[in-house]
Structure 1
Amino acid sequence: MTVEPQADEAGIQTEIAVLSDLWDGLPEAEEIVRRAVDAVVARDDMTIPPDAELSVALADDAMVQRLNREYRAKDKPTNVLSFPAAHGPLLGDVVVAYETLVSEAGEEGLAPADHLTHLTIHGLLHLLGYDHETEAEAVAMEAMETSILAGLGIADPHATGRMMPDGPHARP
C-alpha cells in the first residue's frame, strides 16, 4: 500500500510506501514516520531545500538485504538505508527493514515505535548531509538525533553505548 504524498509541517513532500505486510505489526508506522520528519524539519538549525521531497519505504529484511548487497556489497540486512538523490527537489530515499527494527528494539529494550522514529531521523539526517565517518561527525550526528528525539519525548538511544554495528548508519 502506498500513501499519497503529503506535505509535512515544514513543507517536505513525503511519500511513504509500505512494501511488506509485516508492518501490520506496527500499524501506526506511517504516522510515526511523518512525526519524525516533522521533528527534523521543524528545527531552527536545519536547512531544508524549498519544495523538498522525501521517499520512505517500509520494507522487510529480504528487500533491505538485496539493496545492501547491491549498493554496499554487504550481503546482510541492516536496519535503515539512505539513498541520496543526485539533484532536484528529491532529497532521496530512506528504506527501513521491519524485522531488523523489531529485533534491535527488543535487544535494546526500546519500543519499536521509538526505534522507527530514531531510524527515520537518522536516515533523513544522512540525506541532509550529516554523516558519522569520523568520531567528530558521529558525536555531532548523535547529539542532533538525541536532541530531536528528546523533543518527541523519546530517550537517548545512544545512552547505553553506540547502537551502530552496521546500522543505523548504513548508506551506499
Structure 2
Amino acid sequence: MEPLVDIVIEDDRWQAFGLETLAEPAVRAAFAELGLPEAGFTLCLMGCNDARILELNGDFRGKAKPTNVLSWPSEERGADAGEVPDLPDPGAADDPESLGDIAISYDTCAREAAEAGKPMADHVTHLIVHGLLHLLGYDHIRAVDGDLMESTEVRILARLGLSDPY
C-alpha cells in the first residue's frame, strides 16, 4: 500500500526518533475513525526544530514564538459551529488528493512531553492526529468546535491504545 504521509526531515533527531513509524499508524487510525478510505489521499509531515517552527509561526500566523505543530490545509474545509466538516473525496490512485502540510517541532514536543510526564511518542502521535484534523477542517477557535475536535482526537487515540491526552 502506498504511504499516506510524505515525511520531510529537517532535524535529524526526528529520524532517530522514528517520526515515520508514528505518522502512518496515526493517520490510518484517524481515517478509520472518520470513515475515510486509506487510498486516494496524501499529506506532507515535516519534522523540524523550534528555530524553524518559530520562523513558520511568525510568517504564517504572526506569532513570534515556537509552537508544537502547525498545519496548512490544501483547501478550506471548515464547518458551521459544532458541525463535523465535510470530508474530502479521495483522488485517483495515481493522483491522490493532497490534504495539505503539517510541521512539528522536536524541541517543543520533547519539552511538553517531559513537562506532562508522558512518553514523547504518545504526545507526538497526538499532535500528528491534531494536525491532520486541522487539514480536514476541524478547529478549536470556538469552544463547541474545540469540544468536537478533542472528542474526535480522543476516539482516534483510543484506536491506537493511547489514553485521553486531555
TM beyond 0.5: yes
Paired with 1:7 and 1:132, the residues of 2 have a C-alpha distance of 31
Query: Residue 40 in 1 paired to residue 35 in 2?
Result: no
Map of 2:58 onto structure 1: 69
Paired with 2:119 and 2:112, the residues of 1 have a C-alpha distance of 10
| Higher RCO (CA < 8 A, seq sep 6+) | 2
**Residues 4-25 of structure 1: per-residue CA shift (max 9 Å, x gap):** xx724xxxx3201111122255
Map of 2:72 onto structure 1: 83
Map of 1:170 onto structure 2: none
**What is the Cα deviation at residue 130 of structure 1?**
0.8
Greater alpha carbon shift after TM alignment, 118-127 vs 16-25: 16-25
Aligned-pair identity (%): 41
Paired with 2:5 and 2:46, the residues of 1 have a C-alpha distance of 11
Paired with 1:134 and 1:7, the residues of 2 have a C-alpha distance of 36
Q: Which runs of 5+ in 1 are unaligned?
A: 1-5, 159-172
Map of 1:149 onto structure 2: 157
Q: Which runs of 5+ in 2 are unaligned?
A: 77-90, 92-96
Map of 2:87 onto structure 1: none
Change (3 A) 1:129 1:69: same
Query: Residue 125 in 1 paired to residue 133 in 2?
Result: yes
Q: SS where residue 33 of structure 1 aligns? A: helix
Amino acid across the alignment from 1:35: P
Q: SS where residue 42 of structure 1 aligns? A: helix
TM-score, normalised by the number of residues in structure 1 = 0.79
Map of 1:165 onto structure 2: none
Paired with 1:75 and 1:120, the residues of 2 have a C-alpha distance of 22
TM-score, normalised by the number of residues in structure 2 = 0.82
Amino acid across the alignment from 2:7: I
Map of 1:168 onto structure 2: none
**Residues 14-68 of structure 1: per-residue CA shift (max 9 Å, x gap):** 2011111222552x2210111101111112x344697221000011111100000
Paired with 1:154 and 1:147, the residues of 2 have a C-alpha distance of 9
Residues paired across the two proteins, number: 147
Paired with 2:107 and 2:75, the residues of 1 have a C-alpha distance of 29
Pick the aligned partner of 1:21 from 8, 12, 27: 12
Q: CA RMSD in A?
A: 1.9
Pick the aligned partner of 2:113 from 105, 110, 113: 105
Change (3 A) 1:48 1:70: farther
Paired with 1:70 and 1:25, the residues of 2 have a C-alpha distance of 28
Paired with 1:31 and 1:25, the residues of 2 have a C-alpha distance of 11
Q: SS where residue 54 of structure 2 aligns? A: helix
